[in-house]
Amino acid sequence: MDVYTLVSLFFGLLVAFGPFLVIVAVLVAGVLLGCVIVAIVGAVRAGTSHPEETRDVDVAEFFEEQTAAAAAAAAAGTTDRG
């Protein structure tokens, strides 16, 4: 096989499957462009937003209070089961 045959074969396939390849290329490029746009917008929003204020909660203290409240309710004979 010489170079001319390979080049002719390549261009022949390109002409034959050109419309299909263009459609696939447009769909893939659109998805990739959308991903890039979403990534840029997310990075800009994360960089410009103010951090949310968080409240530090002591988990052990919270459950101690809940346990004490449940024990008091059980001792009083009341339940919150509806």
Which residues, including other chains, have CB under 8 Å from residue 44's CB and lie 6 or more apart?
A: none
Q: How many residues does this entry show for the chain?
A: 82
pLDDT tens digit string along 59-78? Answer: 888 888 889 988 888 888 76
What is the pLDDT confidence band of residue 81, given thresholds at 50, 70 and 90?
Answer: low
pLDDT tens digit string along 15-45? Answer: 898 889 899 999 999 999 999 999 999 988 8
**Is the whole model's pTM more than 0.85, yes or no?**
no
pLDDT the model gives residue 79: 55
| Torsion angle defined by CA atoms of residues 20, 26, 31 and 35, in that order, rounded to the nearest 10 degrees | 150
pLDDT, the chain, mean: 85
